[in-house]
Amino acid sequence: MVRPRVFFDFAIGTELVGRVIFELFNDDVPKTAENFRALCTGEKGLSALSQCPLYYKNSIIHRSISDFMIQGGDFTKRNGTGGESIYGANFPDEDLSRPLDAEGLLCMANRGPDTNGSQFFITLRECPHLDGKHVVFGRVIKGYEEVVKKLANVPVDEKYRPQLPIVVVKCGELELRRAGRSSDVELKQSEKSSKRRKPRSHSSGSERDRRSHRKKSKRRKSGSIVGDDRQNEADIRKETEEEYDARLEREERQRIEAEKRRELERLSREVTSRKDGGVRFKGRGRMQFIDPELHRRQ
């Protein structure tokens, strides 16, 4: 069974920090994993109870305790007193046998037995005192060192509330792709087009020789097409874990580069669209410098 993978893109204030990717244990706790996955995609729409979107996007990390855990998922009240599951307000504990024995574990937050909703926490160390009390339903597979630890270092107040908003600006599900199909189709189409463009041979043989030549070429073409189809079927396969991780890293780099390009384009547009008529403000804006080249006295 392929375990689903979902992601959070975090921002601290207005600064985009990066992406955290989770792997969900749907083989052990399918109901809990499905609840988190659906809240990442927002596919369930509005809640019948709160009329809020059943969606983690724009929710916050409302509690952060250094060297222990960071907690979020309250998309209804945003203070740790709200949240709900896709099954209703709460749903029961599914499996409490997995220990909290490492950092980067994804666990359900609750207010006691069988009170799971949408709130979750990510461990920053081993938490053996919580064994048997919280459902462990996933783990961080990418972004722990680069993102989660940076979130945990945000200053907090006396109630462990981050002093800067830590926001989930984007979230969703990642899917395995079938490798080989697109490249094989493109190769097959290019071969067909090249065969169409190939000029006919102008041999000076008899009509019988030309007919036999056409029959042989048709047989060769049909044989090559059958061979190509068999080769395509053999090449179609699912990505391996290594290919999947490499693709995720490549797409993450492309996403970051695209965001940088968009930001540079935005700044460039602001600079080019600014029309100040040669007037430059100095100091705190009370003094003005008149450019003599643009404002010559008559």
Answer yes or no: 63 catalytic. Answer: yes
Q: How wide is the angle at C-alpha 103 spanned by C-alphas 100 and 107, nearest 5°?
A: 50
Which member of 39, 100, 124, 130 is catalytic? 130
Answer yes or no: 174 catalytic. Answer: no
Answer yes or no: 25 catalytic. Answer: no
72 neighbors 92 (Cβ within 8 angstroms): no
Task: Identify the bridge partners of residue 178 per DSSP, sorted by sequence position.
Answer: 238
Q: How many CB atoms lie within 10 A of CB 171?
A: 22
Which member of 134, 137, 139, 151 is catalytic? 134
Distance CA 258, CA 247 (A): 16
DSSP line for 86-121: TTBS-B------S---STTEEEE--SSTT-B-S-EE
Tokens of 205: 């043989």
Which member of 7, 22, 91, 121 is catalytic? 121
What is the residue whose two structure tokens read 């043989």?
205
Those residues with Cβ within 8 angstroms of residue 12's Cβ, 6 or more apart along the chain or in another chain: 150, 151, 154, 164, 165, 166
Radius of gyration of the chain (CA): 30
Phi, psi of 151 (to 5 degrees): -65, -40
Answer yes or no: 110 catalytic. Answer: yes
Which member of 19, 63, 116, 119 is catalytic? 63
Which member of 10, 25, 26, 71 is catalytic? 71
Answer yes or no: 121 catalytic. Answer: yes
What is the longest distance spanned by two Cα atoms in the chain?
98
Report the catalytic residues. 63, 68, 71, 110, 121, 130, 134
